[in-house]
Amino acid sequence: MPGLGGCPDEVLQLIFFELADPTAFAATARRFHSFSQEPYVRAQYFITRYGPLQALYFALGRGRLLTRRVLDIFLTSGVHLSRYLVQVAFHHYFHAHSHPIKSPTWTRKVPLDVFSYFLELAAEKYGDIPRGKGEDDGSLFATFLKEAKLPPESQTVTWTEIADIFQTYHARPSLFFWTRYHSHWPLNPAFSHMQLPTGSLWMTRYAVASSKANHMSHSGQYRDFVFRKMFERHSTSAPGHADEIVDHVRELCNGNSTMYITRTVAAEVCLEAKTNDAGYLALKRLDQTGDLAFSLRDLVTDIIKLFMGTRAITTTLNCQILTLLYHDFLAPKAPEDSVDASVRRAMFLTIFAADPPIAPQLLSERLDALKLGPFTLKDASLVLLSAFVEKPGPVMDYVRRHGIITEDGGATTRKVSPKDLHQLARDVAVQCLVFENKGKTLKRLCASVPSVKTAIAEAVLLDHRIAVETIQTGERVNARLARLIGVTTLAIDSADQESSLAAAGADLGFIGLDTLTTMIRRDEAQGIRRRYRWYYTTAETAHPEHRQVWHLLIQYCLGYRSLADTLSVAQWIKTEFGHLSHVTAVFLQHAIINCNSIILLKYLRADVTDKTVPVTLQHFRILASTENSYPDFYLYDQIKQGAAFYVSEAEYLSASGLKTESDASLPAENRKRPRRSAATGSYVVPDSDDEMIAEDVDDAFAEYRRSTHTKKRGVLRADSPLQMWVAALSELHKAEQQKFREKKRRMEQEAGKKVRASKSDFFRSLSTNLKTLRELDAEQQRTRISNGENIQDSEDDDEDWGRTTRKRRKIAF
């Protein structure tokens, strides 16, 4: 190679170092081959490409390149040699013990004399090295991790031995990542606070840096795990254990900006306030000294607000924890101090929503201990509106017994009259209409106060009607009634938690309902492979605009947002008001707009003892305005089953009564009885050429020949509800087709060329289902004809036949 033949050795050395496998390059010329045989070049090749920590590991994998001289250069150049590396190489070379090394021929290509010299160098440095199975440093390290939670007298491996492995015998994480123990390495720094003396956390810091360099951290998961292990609860905690936790946290965070306690870990410690005294006390001391990046008081406020929207607030243990956190951070110290409104409501729920319920004679004592101020009618209304309070009786009884404060805002109280209680029941019932999981509350209120049913009907008909004309084409409408339980909860709770979640930020982490012990067990159970790891939350990695809804959605999917056996408001409305009611019709309209398939299934698919709510053409017009096709399956299914045709609910909801099913399915026929017609006398003498002389009474075409029949174009006779539905939906399909053509024409004018316009979901669904309905109608007509029924076709059916002109005969000249 004339181009590289004159290059100096320094340039050739740089070229060699850049090649992953310089074998082919060395075989191109004798000079390159002889240059590659130099021990210094080989040693520097591994040191430059893999670094001093991993150079010897990769050199053992290229056994043909390793010589005695190369080993000497490695040691004089500062290449890292640990006792654990020697043990693993010995086991692999002599097939003494299986290690999950990626290359099955890792050290087995090294010549025996070179490997013997390698063992001789290791013996000179570390002396007698343990070589038995289970005696290597990795096995001792794994045993220590398994026994770390046992009492000191039950442990077979002490922390002194583990410290010697890393300090005396120079074990480093670089080799742990190539063996079976690489998943156990993050556990070691977290356990180090148990027996490691203060001021010797060098290994924890080194592990954090090494884990990041080897991609073992994911959204701060490793950092949170280290701090979780520091605050972990132990069965036998020493009196000064809290001070040790504080010292270790300070030393680990000192000078390292990537290591800090997040709100996630702090919230988990707070949720174990009654069972983890040392961890909770250490967290409070860190907050008092300013070592936390956030205020613990604000964190407790957010925790209590988070519990307000979850059914975990009803359990006894959680109520005790929230009460303890409230007394430590949020309880008013002076009479003029105030409590946050959301926190105040949450603490009321710990009393009135407790499961099992608190005895009535103890309610006053519990409320006085919380120092929440006087319990007003507004407070009673907020408590009854909670998703976890289904029995209004205890709240009503407490208000009736203890009274409320006077309207002037003084300290005096007055008795509550039955009128006040009835008005409270009506107000709560009207507000419960938008909470889909408050059906049981409405049922009990309606049973105790009869006027509640009238108030519900008036509120629904006056405030919740939606006119089709007010819906713009393609507009996404969110109806307030008949919503999904999860959507209702997210819409309400997002407003309460907007400030707390915005203040939390992505760096300090989000808070959840899991305790510290639960998250530690979850982290320890993760597998070696990354796909088996448990990512306990993904809200941090979401888009900033979606983190709030994503975090609330995770909690709802975990089952925290409602009780197990709730009764929906829409289902109770149908049971209470019946399937033929103005109120039920409004709820069905809202369910169609909100695409609530659960309510549509209850309303349109009835059981044996129930009846369905009628389907009207107005429902399809609503879907056409919103351009949505999701809930139309239930509507078409009712039409296929023979649902009666109504333009709107006004046709079957009238003051005079309801139309019967026979009126809609049997149209009146305008035919004369033959015998009565023959008996009818007439004094008119027809002319000889009058057609009436030759006409038979039963002649079906006499009316056409007399020209007394007038055709009405555009009006089709329908003998069945299905034909009426087909005719009405055909007109709606024509309107949708006209809108699509106008939309496409407008797009082409704006673009200046032909474009492909997309049809709406409703238009596509209507086209498909209308074809199915027409085929079903034709099949029903063929069945009726085969049964011998007299079927009268539409008078304009002849106009549907296409006429073609006769082709002219070609004349050849």
Domain count, the chain: 1
Q: How far is CA 427 from CA 350, 397, 568, in A?
A: 23, 17, 19
Inform me whether the pLDDT recorded for 579 exceeds 70: yes
Provide the sign of the torsion angle of the four alpha carbons 348, 350, 355, 358, taken in this order. negative
Cβ atoms 278, 237 nearer than 8 A:
yes
The reply to whether 730 falls in a domain is yes
* Contact predicate 225/213, CB 8 Å: no
**759, part of any domain:** yes
Asked if the model's pLDDT at residue 35 lies above 50, the reply is yes
Rounded distance, CA 513 to CA 312, Å? 8
Peptide bond into 356 cis (omega under 30): yes
Of 49, 53, 82, the C-alpha closest to 65 is: 49
- CA–CA separation, 88 vs 101, rounded Å? 9
Instruction: Please give the radius of gyration of the chain, using alpha carbons only, rounded to the nearest integer.
Output: 42
Total Cβ atoms within 10 A of residue 787: 7
pLDDT, tens digit, for every residue of 690-726?
444 444 444 544 444 444 444 444 444 546 889 999 9
Beta carbons within 8 Å of 606's beta carbon, 6+ residues apart = 579, 612
Share of the chain above pLDDT 90, in %: 32
pLDDT at residue 735 above 70?
yes
**Cα–chain-centroid distance for residue 183?**
29
801: left (phi over 0), alpha (psi -120 to 50) or beta: beta
Element (H, E) at 300: helix 296-308
Residue 807 pLDDT > 60, yes or no?
no
∠ CA 17-19-21, rounded to 5°: 115
Q: What is the pLDDT of residue 195?
A: 40
What pLDDT does residue 757 have?
A: 85
Q: Copy the structure tokens of residue 614.
A: 């009628």
Q: Establish if 758 belongs to a structural domain.
A: yes
**Following CA atoms 728, 733, 734, 737 in sequence, which dihedral angle do they give, to the nearest 10 degrees?**
170
Q: What is the pLDDT of residue 509?
A: 82
Q: For residues 626 and 477, is the Cβ–Cβ distance under 8 A?
A: yes
pLDDT (0 to 100) of residue 411? 63
Shortest CA distance to 445 belongs to which of 463, 461, 459, 428? 428
pTM above 0.75, yes or no: no
Q: What per-residue confidence (pLDDT) applies to 565? A: 76
Q: Count Cα neighbours of 390 within 13 Å in the Cβ-side half-sphere.
A: 18
CA distances to 41, 144, 712 from 171, rounded to whole Å, are 27, 15, 98
Average pLDDT, the chain: 77
> What pLDDT does residue 609 have?
52
Q: What is each CA distance from 750 to 472, 739, 744, 753, in whole angstroms?
A: 22, 17, 10, 8
Strand partners, 414: 404
- Of the candidates 206, 203, 204, 210, the one whose C-alpha atom is nearest the C-alpha of residue 178 is 210
- pLDDT (mean) for 393-416: 79
Least confidently predicted of 115-119, 134-138, 714-718: 714-718
Residue 358 has pLDDT above 60, yes or no: yes
Contact at 8 Å (CB) between 173 and 185?
yes
Cα–Cα distance for residue pair 678/57, rounded to 1 Å = 117
Buried b (16+ CB within 10 A) or exposed e, 276-288: bebbbbbbbebbe
Please report, for residues 16, 63, 70, the alpha-carbon distance to residue 37 in angstroms, rounded to integers and kept in the order given.
12, 14, 11
Q: How much is the pLDDT for 31?
A: 82
Q: Which two tokens stand for residue 121?
A: 């160098």
Candidates 340, 302, 339, 336; CA nearest to 322 is: 302
d(CA 743, CA 417): 62
Give the model confidence (pLDDT) of 580-638 as tens digits: 899 999 999 999 998 888 899 889 876 645 688 999 999 999 998 888 888 888 899 99
| pLDDT reported for residue 442 | 94
What the block records as the tokens of 100 is: 């999950």
In a domain, 322, yes or no: no
Mean pLDDT of 357-382: 89
Region 12-24: what's the mean pLDDT?
83
Picking from 269, 280, 374, 290, the residue whose alpha carbon sits closest to that of residue 328 is 280
Q: What is the pLDDT of residue 456?
A: 95
Which range scores top for mean pLDDT: 194-203, 459-468, 690-699? Answer: 459-468
> Please, are residues 513 and 271 in contact by the beta-carbon 8 Å criterion?
yes
Of the given ranges (302-311, 685-694, 758-767), which has the lowest mean pLDDT? 685-694
CA distance 415 to 399: 8
Letter for the amino acid at 643? A
Dist CA 328 CA 173 (whole Å): 43
pLDDT at 808: 58
Mean pLDDT of 70-98: 91
Top-confidence range, 189-198, 200-209, 584-593: 584-593
From 323, 219, 199, select the one nearest 273 (Cα to Cα): 323
Find the mean pLDDT for residues 729-756: 90
Q: Which residues pair with 405 in a beta bridge?
A: 413
pLDDT at 151: 73
CB 247 within 8 A of CB 198: yes
The Cα 507–Cα 469 span in angstroms is: 48
CA distances, 344 to each of 259, 383, 404, 560, 602 (Å): 35, 10, 17, 20, 38
Nearest 10 degrees: Cα torsion 84, 90, 95, 100: 30
pLDDT, residue 119, reads 95
**Stretch among 41-50, 86-95, 185-194 having the lowest mean pLDDT:** 185-194
Domain range holding 736? 721-785
Ramachandran category for residue 95: left, alpha or beta (phi over 0 → left; psi -120 to 50 → alpha)? left
Which tokens go with 193?
């606070």
In a domain, residue 370? The reply is no
Q: Look at residue 377 and tell me whether its pLDDT is greater than 50.
A: yes
Contact 191, 158 (CB under 8 A): no
With 0-12 / 13-18 / 19 or more C-beta atoms within 10 angstroms meaning exposed / middle / buried, residue 418 is exposed
Is residue 31 classed as helix, strand or coil in its secondary structure? helix
Residue 735 lies in a domain: yes
Q: Is residue 300 part of a domain?
A: no
410, pLDDT greater than 90 = no
pLDDT value at residue 105: 83
Q: Domain for residue 742, yes or no?
A: yes
Chain centroid to Cα 670, Å, comes to: 62
Q: What span, in angstroms and rounded, lies between the C-alpha atoms of 723 and 715?
A: 12
With beta carbons less than 8 A apart as the criterion, state whether 644 and 721 touch.
yes
Residue 133 near residue 167, CB atoms below 8 Å: no
Identity of the amino acid at 35: F
DSSP secondary structure letters along 396-414: HHHHHHH-EE-TT--S-EE
DSSP H helical ranges for 333-435: 341-352, 360-370, 377-384, 393-402, 418-432
Q: Is the per-residue pLDDT at 250 higher than 70?
A: yes
The DSSP symbol for 556 reads: H
DSSP state of 645: P
| 600 dihedral zone (left: phi>0; alpha: psi -120 to 50; beta) | alpha
**What pLDDT sits at residue 794?**
47
The Cα 325–Cα 301 span in angstroms is 9
- Report the residue count for the chain: 813
Q: What secondary structure does DSSP assign to 720-775, as a single string?
A: SHHHHHHHHHHHHHHHHHHHHHHHHHHHHHHHTS---PPPPHHHHHHHHHHHHHHH
Q: Say what the pLDDT of residue 236 is.
A: 62
pLDDT classification of 534: cutoffs 50, 70, 90: very low
pLDDT at residue 198 tops 50: no
Longest dimension (CA), the chain: 144
| pLDDT (mean) for 659-667 | 39
Least confident window among 155-164, 236-245, 550-559, 577-586? 550-559
Q: Cα-flanking dihedrals φ and ψ of residue 707, to 5°?
A: 60, 25
Instruction: Check: CB of residue 412 under 8 Å from CB of residue 402.
Output: no
> Is residue 552 predicted with pLDDT exceeding 60?
no
Residue 72: predicted pLDDT:
94
Tens of pLDDT along 286-324? 999 999 999 999 999 999 999 988 888 999 999 999 999
- Structure confidence by residue, pLDDT tens digits, 95-111: 888 776 767 788 999 99
